[in-house]
Structure 1
Amino acid sequence: MSATIAYVRVSTEDQSTNTQRATIEERHKVDHWFVDEATSGAIKAKDRKGLGGLLNFVRDGDTVIVYAIDRLGRNTVDVLETVETLNAKGVAVVSLREGFDMSTPMGKAMLTMLSAMAELERSNIKERQLAGINRAKAEGKALGREKIINDEDVAHWRQENSASIKATAEQFDISTASVKRACRTHKGNTKIL
């Protein structure tokens, strides 16, 4: 007997799959859910725990429902490989946001176009982001988070207490990388372990 299977994914921990789930549940009675949370789309589909499980689970005649095509991957090749893998198993793929069944010839054509457009948009976003960073640098603006520690204090405390990098990080509630950077900055004043 065929099953309706839903797949939802979010890229970061501060995002939720609730909207995707609610939209899918409004239109379909789902038999099985597969979820990837805080999983970057940069990770190939088959390497994601949830989607990998889905690929192993599906059978001929099943239908996979996704909220949007970009939930299946972040580039044209990954999305198309995933859909082709599912289609080869006799599984239909339906994307709600785009409104088509990707197992049909029209659906496949739309999938190819939408995936290409999404990849182009991501490239454009990266270009705009890089241009913004370069402009900010040219204007002399400080980039990154504001520094919250005094390197000299960290290096001095570590030396005075003969502390390890880890102990120093815990003392100042900072990362070990920040401790190492502080000690490098003030290496004339402290030992480096």
Structure 2
Amino acid sequence: MSATIAYVRVSTEDQSTNTQRATILERHKVDRWFVDEATSGLIKAQDRKGLGELLNYVREGDTVIVYAIDRLGRNTVDVLETVEKLNSKGVAVLSLREGFDMSTPMGKAMLTMLSAMAELERSNIKERQMQGIKRAKAEGKALGREKVINDEDVSQWRKDNSASIKATAIHFSISPASVKRACRSANCYS
């Protein structure tokens, strides 16, 4: 007997799978759910707990439903490999947002194009981000958080109190790495 299986994924802890679940349940009666929460799509499919369990569970004739292709992964090759694994087991894959069956030749072609476009967009975003950082540096803008400690004060307190890195970090409410940087900057021992 074939089953309708749903897979939902969110990337961060502050996100919820509720919208994906509700959208799937509006159109399909689901026999089994597989979930990955706070799991990046950059993690290979086989290394994600929920999707790994799904791949082991499915049988010929089953249908896997996802809210959108990007729930399967963010890397075109990984998404295509996952869909191919499912198809080779005789499992159909439906994507609701894109509106196609990825087990058909047309669905596979659409999947390849959409996955490639999504990957290209992520690359373009990263490139624009790197260009913005480069431009900000060239304009002399400070990047990162504003420094809240005085390296000399940290270094002097540590020296005066013969304190460890940990004790100094606790005293100033900063990280041990900040203490080390402050001591390096002030040319004291670390």
Asked if Structure 1 and Structure 2 have the same fold, meaning a TM-score greater than 0.5 normalized by the shorter chain, the answer is yes
1:57-136 aligned at under 5 Å gives the runs: 57-136=57-136
Q: Measure the CA separation in 1 of the matches of 2:78 and 2:127.
A: 22
Shift of 1:131: 1.3
1:114-193 aligned at under 5 Å gives the runs: 114-188=114-188, 191-192=189-190
Amino acid in structure 1 at the alignment position of 2:65: I
Structure 1's unaligned 5+ residue stretches are none
SS in 1 for 2:97: coil
Amino acid in structure 2 at the alignment position of 1:108: K
Match of 2:43 in 1: 43
Amino acid in structure 2 at the alignment position of 1:52: G
Change (3 A) 1:53 1:176: farther
Report the number of matched residues.
190
Q: Measure the CA separation in 1 of the matches of 2:94 and 2:27.
A: 11
SS in 2 for 1:8: strand
SS in 2 for 1:94: strand
1:19-34 aligned at under 5 Å gives the runs: 19-34=19-34
Q: TM-score, normalised by structure 1?
A: 0.89
Amino acid in structure 2 at the alignment position of 1:62: D
Q: CA offsets, 1:21-53, max 9 Å, x none? A: 221122222222222222222211111112112
178-187 or 49-58, which moves further after superposition?
A: 178-187
Match of 1:6 in 2: 6
RMSD over aligned Cα atoms: 1.8
Shift of 1:97: 0.7
Q: Measure the CA separation in 1 of the matches of 2:181 and 2:51.
A: 39
Q: TM-score, normalised by structure 2?
A: 0.90
